[in-house]
Amino acid sequence: MRYLPLNDADRATMLERIGVENIDALFCDVPAEARLDGPVDLPIHKSEMQVERDMQAMAGQNMTAGSAPFFCGAGAYRHHVRRRLTILFNGRNF
């Protein structure tokens, strides 16, 4: 994959297009204590594949909705409802 760096004009155009003042505004919802302050501490002279593995290992330390009980959504998610119940609930008398 080719690396096509952005220049300052490209960045300014993209930020203007999405309606934010600067790149920091994109991360305003992330608490300051959760942000990285500076470069990621990776050893130098690693292949792209090894850096990707290291970053995936770091990301694996995060808790995600799939790694613990998750109760957001108030039951609004895909779940199985038996056909008989659907017919019953959609009836005029119910």
- What dihedral angle (degrees, nearest 10) is formed by the CA atoms of 23, 25, 40, 3? -30
User: Residue 33 is encoded by which pair of tokens?
Assistant: 């204590």
User: Residue 34 is encoded by which pair of tokens?
Assistant: 């959760």
pLDDT for res 67: 78
Q: Which amino acid, 82?
A: R
Work out the pLDDT band at 93, boundaries 50, 70, 90.
low
Q: Is the pLDDT of residue 1 over 60?
A: no
Q: Is the model's pTM score more than 0.85?
A: no
- How many C-beta neighbours within 10 Å does residue 65 have? 10
* Tens-place pLDDT, residues 27-76: 999 998 888 888 877 778 888 899 899 889 988 888 877 777 777 766 66
